[in-house]
Amino acid sequence: MTPYESPKGRRAYRRLECNPTLKIIETLLLICFFSGMVLYFYPHVISIMHSLACQALRLGSGESIGIITIPTKCLWKEIESIHIEEVETNELYAFVIALFSFFVAWIIPKVKMAKGLSMWIATIAILTFVSSAFFAIIPAKFPYTIGNFTEFYLHAEIFIWVTIPIFLSLCLAPVPTSMVSKTLLIAFTIAYSIVLGICRYALFIYVLIHIHFLFMPVLFFIFGPLLDIYAIISLYALYVSAYSKKIKEGFSI
Amino acid sequence: MSILIFTLQVYCTLTIIIMVVYMVRHFIFTINRSFSHQKMSYEDILDSELPSISILIPMHNEEHVASQILDKLIKDDYKGMEIEIIAINDQSEDKTADILKAYEAICPNLRVIHRTEGIRGKPAALNEGLKIAKGEVVLVFDADYLPPKGMIRNLAISFKDPEISSVMGRVVPLNEAKNLLTRLIGMERASGYQVDQQARYNMDLLPQYGGTVGGFRKDLIMKIGGFDPTILAEDTNLTFITGSNGWKIQYANSAECYEEVPEEWAARARQIQRWSRGHNQVLFNEFTTVLSSPYFSFIQKVDALLLLFIYTIPTLLLVAMVSSIILFFLGELHFFLITQFAVFMMAYYGFGNFAPFYQICVASILDGDTKKVRLIPFMAFKFIFSMFYSTKGFIQAVVDYCSSRIVTWEKTSRFRQSP
């Protein structure tokens, strides 16, 4: 080090190797290919999802359950969603859940645990409290049916599948890894999201029918699309970490 | 009822648009930092005639860390620079005063101010220090910082450029490996400095003077009457005042200085709340100044305004989430579906935790810390947390603005033990 040389860290002005034209082409190709695939195949996936959910519900609830299939339009194609007419809403149960969720929301900030976690639990408890209070006081005013829920859930899932390639391709643009591995990541993420979507679809309907309708807001707000986002980000993080060695080789100063 | 629904729908739509704007802004920063030419600071200039320097270190109950920063600064190699160190004991109730007295006795260029009355807090303490500072340039360090050798020169050299009003170095957590919270803060810091600040500097936008590991011209701050002791973010205030008046802020990414980040969630909550309160105080005071500044280009102005609003966004987001829930119970699921989904999604992608995950990822790659990227999913823990405490800070800033009450400075807790 010369007398006047600053202790400059090499990382301060590092950048990543890039051919801008290739990057743009790569990103556009990934977006077009995967979004196109999703847009072409989503009615088939939804159809599989529908039949699997019906089977799971019959298995869990007995053959007597009156599942009605409603055709609904999503984008430019028709899909099928599940509707069940007779769902009972128990006011006393809603009242008990309201009391319990209020207690949880009140006690959780006092419990010694990481605030980041306790605030999520409190948020879920508050949402459950609002919903259960609604069902305890004015259950008849609840504006949705199972059919509405399944229809909107499926719309949200399709939207997620279409946007996964767009968001992931853009986020992967700065990452100096091969197009093949990026393609595999996007394909795996979509597949994972579809499997997660199918499992949740059957589970959500089961919860709404057999436990209580009041859990609909929590299922939609917390365990709906937000969970998909969480899964996408987690897979992305694992991917970047797994390729750390190769990435380090791509540095230039 | 229909008016309420319409209002909530419009509000949610606007929030989504704002989130998209922030998402695009941070994506541009990420791409710029990844691939563009990186503008260097002035650290390669070999010049023996540097301005005289006063280093100010405000201290309030800093007995665990006071001696460490003083040791570091005293042992720095000034290479002929004229340096004075001014430690300001700001109404400490612990052994800080004794430690400072001991150092004062052995170190000829250390001066100590003992504040026993007046408004406590960093801006007020800095004002006291400025009264006796002899240097043309004032550098500021918080007491928990550990500046490495050569740091003073690295920062001071920027002031050879007459257009530079202030300089800011990079903050790196010292205790990052302590627990999950410190690791998450570490990733946030890396993203904020390695990508955000450097990209803004590359793009001739407005890098932020962060109030520590940095400095400013003394005459400039004296001209504006020193720091306002009622504003908790004196650094942000200086950034926007100088920026709006045509001065440039230098970002020195290679000037890395180590700090201690909060190791407990409660301490982090207080820190975020204070930052949000201070930043929003500056927003209320300087919004029109930034908007009407003739020195900013259109792009610079847009970016400066986005920076100015950064601690207001969590509040907007929280209100949007509550609005989504209201819309749900009002039977607007169709609209709500798109809204809530998009709000959450954009929040996480575009703004979550003050640094979107793709920005954090690139920062980690550039830093060579790619393993810690695995912790990105845990950033979700900070999402509601940051939103809640930023909103508390925003509400306090609104009350401050309306009532002109006296603001008390809540110091960030220290976790390091005395050597």
HEC per residue, chain A: CCCCCCCCCHHHHCEECCCHHHHHHHHHHHHHHHHHHHHHHHHHHHHHHHHHHHHHHHHHHCCCCCEEEEEEEECCEEEEEEEECCCCCCHHHHHHHHHHHHHHHHHHHHCCCCHHHHHHHHHHHHHHHHHHHHHHHCHHHCCCCHHHHHHHHHHHHHHHHHHHHHHHHHHHCCCCCCHHHHHHHHHHHHHHHHHHHHHHHHHHHHHHHHHCHHHHHHHHHCCCHHHHHHHHHHHHHHHHHHCHHHHHHCEEC
Q: Does B48 touch chain A (CB under 8 A)?
A: yes
Query: Is B151 a member of any domain?
Result: yes
Q: Tell which residue, B281, B270, B235, B315, has the closest CA to residue B398.
A: B281
pLDDT at A188 over 90: yes
Nearest to A233 among B31, B38, B376 (CB): B376
To the nearest whole Å, the CA of B50 is away from the closest chain A CA by: 12
Reported pTM:
0.91
- What is the distance in angstroms between the Cα of A165 and the nearest Cα belonging to chain B? 14
Q: How confident is the model over B21-77, as pLDDT tens digits?
A: 888 999 999 999 999 989 988 877 777 788 899 999 999 999 989 999 999 888 877
Task: Say if residue B17 is in the same domain as residue B78.
Answer: no
- Determine the pLDDT at residue B27: 92
Over the stretch B199-215, which tens digit does the pLDDT of each residue have?
999 999 999 999 999 99
Q: Does A56 touch chain B (CB under 8 A)?
A: no
Mutate to test the interface with B, among A177, A241, A243, A253 (most CBs of B within 10 A): A241
- Indicate if B24 and B75 belong to the same structural domain: no
* Owning domain of residue A129: 90-141
Structural domain that includes position B9:
2-37+302-403
Residues B213 and B312 in one domain: no
* Shared domain check, A247 and A160: yes
Query: How far is A114 from chain B, CA to nearest CA, in Å?
Result: 6
Query: Strand, coil or helix: what is B118?
Result: coil
On the question of pLDDT at B151 being above 80, the answer is: yes
Q: Is B371 a member of any domain?
A: yes
Summarize the confidence of residues B238-251 as an average pLDDT.
94
What local confidence, expressed as pLDDT, does residue A55 receive?
86
**A201 plus A167 within the same structural domain:** yes
Residues of chain B contacting A117 with CB distance shorter than 8 Å: 381
The answer to the question of residue A40 being in a domain is: yes
Distance CA B60, CA B411 (A): 8
Task: Indicate the number of domains in chain B.
Answer: 2
How many residues make up chain A in this entry?
253
Site of tokens 């541009």: B28
Q: Is A114 on the interface with B (CB under 8 A)?
A: yes
CB contact under 8 A, B46 and A2: yes
Interface ipTM above 0.90? no
- Name the residue among A114, A144, A247 with its Cβ closest to that of B365: A247
- Structurally, chain A folds into a number of domains equal to 2
% residues pLDDT > 70 (chain A): 91
Asked if the model's pLDDT at residue A9 lies above 50, the reply is no
Q: Identify the residue among A16, A113, A115, A215 best suited for mutation to test binding to B, counting B beta carbons within 10 A and taking the highest.
A: A115
Q: Mark which residues 218-237 of A lie under 8 Å from B by CB.
A: 220-221, 224-226, 229-230, 233-234, 236-237
Specify whether A71 is located in the same domain as A97: no
Q: What is the pLDDT of residue A64?
A: 67
Q: What is the pLDDT of residue B419?
A: 63
